[in-house]
Structure 1
Amino acid sequence: MKITQEFTVARPVATVWDFFQNVPEVAQCLPGAELLSDDGEGNYTGKVSVKLGPLNATFDGTAKVTPDAAAKTGLIDGKGSDRRGGSRGSVKVVYALLEDGPSSTKVSVDADVVLSGSAAQFGRGGLITEMSNRLIGEFVACCEAKLAATTVEERAEIKAADVKPLALFFQSLVAWLKGLFGGRKTPAA
């Protein structure tokens, strides 16, 4: 399944690029993510917890992050599995930073996600896309807050908000349903 997102961060490209190179700090802005280790060469281990309706999974996995400083792009290649539920997932993410004015950066993200097991049922029909739209909003708010922090201590305290899984699921479901039926016109009586 392909997920494409774009968002803007109200900071210059160089500032956003430097922030994105601090993977432990970026991971703090990803709802449900926990970074466990860093080998210093772009290889990371961690886990991502997902709670949506009846699905309660914790994916333990690895990721390789390969940045291209000259092009201001990067590749994230990750995979993981949920030992309890038997779900597996892999993701390839390409991100690019583009100047969007003197003090603004447009970030584009193209992800190819493959899910198997019980987690795969949420990939059908665009529900994952709706949930990713909401999670990206939380990610951007956290990044903005970290970049606006005035002290190292203040910046360290800023983390992604806890995901309220039931609310996220129903908000995403409603948005997805509106998208499905929003273009249809009801015949006049």
Structure 2
Amino acid sequence: MKMTGEREIAAPRETVWAALLSEEVLKECVPGAQEVSGTPEEGFDAVVTQKVGPVKATFKGRVLLTDMVAPESLTLSGEGKGGAAGFAKGEADVTLEETEGGTRLVYDVEAKVGGKLAQLGSRIVDGFAKKMADQFFSRLEEVIEGPKPDDEEEVAEKKGWLKKLIS
């Protein structure tokens, strides 16, 4: 299955680039991530728990960053194995374009699943994959931009941690 999308992020392109390469940001943004460790050069190991339809599984996998052209584009490739539930594989080509208000992040994602997951049917799996991509890039936008003026204090404090880290 293939998906494309874009996000407008109110931050400089270099900040968005740094966030995409950060272990802490990836752990915060990948839905269901329990552990993320590694480096952009060596790749990241991840443990992610997800429920797709009636199937709940913990996936152990690896994410590699390739074709990096700082701060313009990169490819995120990942593969996870969830035991009896099957496997998930995906690749996202990400492009960062400077805009008047910050950065436009454009992504093209291709994903594949196998095992019990593939037996769920393409509507369920496609919907789940789209939801995961949307959640990842929405969360990335929130983490980078920090709190909005109308956020409650507790939510605002959680959203502003990346700016504190970069400052």
The answer on 1:105 being equivalent to 2:103 is: yes
The answer on 1:143 being equivalent to 2:149 is: no
Counterpart of 1:11 in structure 2 is: 11
Residues 130, 27 of structure 1: CA spacing in aligned structure 2 closer, same or farther, 3 A cutoff? same
Contact 2:13 2:102 in 1 (8 A): yes
Counterpart of 2:116 in structure 1 is: 118
String of CA shifts for 1:53-89, please: whole Å, max 9, x gaps.
Answer: 3111111111211252346111122112112x24012
CA distance in 2 between counterparts of 1:11 and 1:113 reads 28
Q: How much has 1:129 moved relative to structure 2?
A: 4.2
Q: How much has 1:113 moved relative to structure 2?
A: 1.1
Alignment of 1:140-179 (within 5 A): 140-147=137-144, 148=146, 155=161
CA distance in 2 between counterparts of 1:29 and 1:121 reads 27
Gaps of 5+ in 1: 157-189
Residues 35, 123 of structure 1: CA spacing in aligned structure 2 closer, same or farther, 3 A cutoff? farther
Report the TM-score when normalising by structure 1.
0.66
Counterpart of 1:181 in structure 2 is: none
Contact 1:9 1:144 in 2 (8 A): yes
Give 1 or 2 for the bigger CA radius of gyration: 1
The answer on 1:43 being equivalent to 2:40 is: no
Residues 37, 14 of structure 1: CA spacing in aligned structure 2 closer, same or farther, 3 A cutoff? closer
Report the TM-score when normalising by structure 2.
0.74
Residues 17, 117 of structure 1: CA spacing in aligned structure 2 closer, same or farther, 3 A cutoff? same
String of CA shifts for 1:101-149, please: whole Å, max 9, x gaps.
Answer: 2x32111111221111111145613x44444444444434433443326
The answer on 1:88 being equivalent to 2:59 is: no
Gaps of 5+ in 2: 148-155, 163-167
Residues 11, 36 of structure 1: CA spacing in aligned structure 2 closer, same or farther, 3 A cutoff? closer
CA distance in 2 between counterparts of 1:153 and 1:13 reads 19
Residues 14, 136 of structure 1: CA spacing in aligned structure 2 closer, same or farther, 3 A cutoff? same
Contact 1:3 1:129 in 2 (8 A): no
Residues 97, 153 of structure 1: CA spacing in aligned structure 2 closer, same or farther, 3 A cutoff? closer
The number of residues matched between the two structures is 153
CA distance in 1 between counterparts of 2:125 and 2:59 reads 16
Secondary structure of 1:28's match?
helix
Counterpart of 1:63 in structure 2 is: 63
